[in-house]
Amino acid sequence: MGDTLQDLRDRDIDNLQYLLQNKKVHVFKNSASAFTASGEMVRLALLRGGVDLHALIEMTKDPNHTNEMVTEALEQNGVVIETRPYTNPIDQWRAGVYIYKNNEILAWIGGIRKGEFGYEIETTEERGVA
């Protein structure tokens, strides 16, 4: 039996509360460093979620691979990646990459923004590199 709308709403509220309680801001000197760190945060989150990144990379080397094949490989591990834009200025901080493991938030990596002291990433993840 599938989830009810109330189940989905409750899980979404739980995930948002997790973001609010665990978010941190990392500041980088330039956009290239922020972009590199953002990618590393995604990589580490996928590893934490049990994704075999080597197998995914090998899959993408096959000229016959499709995005659906990659998505299916992630879903076999219970991992789903969503990119969410938020155009409302009040909610814009929530934009970014959401990574779920078995319908629970595994990681959130916000978009890169220019801040007062450099380029900022709000995230639930550790700094990574750069």
pLDDT at 119: 96
3-state secondary structure of 106: strand
pLDDT at 65: 86
User: Using 50, 70 and 90 to split pLDDT, how confident is the model at 9?
Assistant: low
3-state secondary structure of 43: helix
Query: Considering the entire predicted model, what is its pTM?
Result: 0.81
- Residue closest to 97 by CA, chosen among 87, 126, 86: 86
Is the separation of the CB atoms in 59 and 76 below 8 Å?
A: no
Is the separation of the CB atoms in 104 and 23 below 8 Å?
A: no
- Residue closest to 112 by CA, chosen among 45, 15, 26: 26
Residue 8 has pLDDT above 70, yes or no: no
Average pLDDT over residues 11-21: 74
Please give the C-alpha separations between residue 111 and each of 11, 51, 69, 91, 127, in angstroms, as whole numbers.
Answer: 23, 23, 26, 12, 14
With vertex at residue 14, the alpha carbon angle to CA 22 and CA 95, rounded to the nearest 5 degrees, is 60
Is the separation of the CB atoms in 15 and 107 below 8 Å?
A: no
Residue 130 has pLDDT above 70, yes or no: no
Return the sign of the alpha-carbon dihedral for residues 7, 14, 19, 107.
Answer: negative
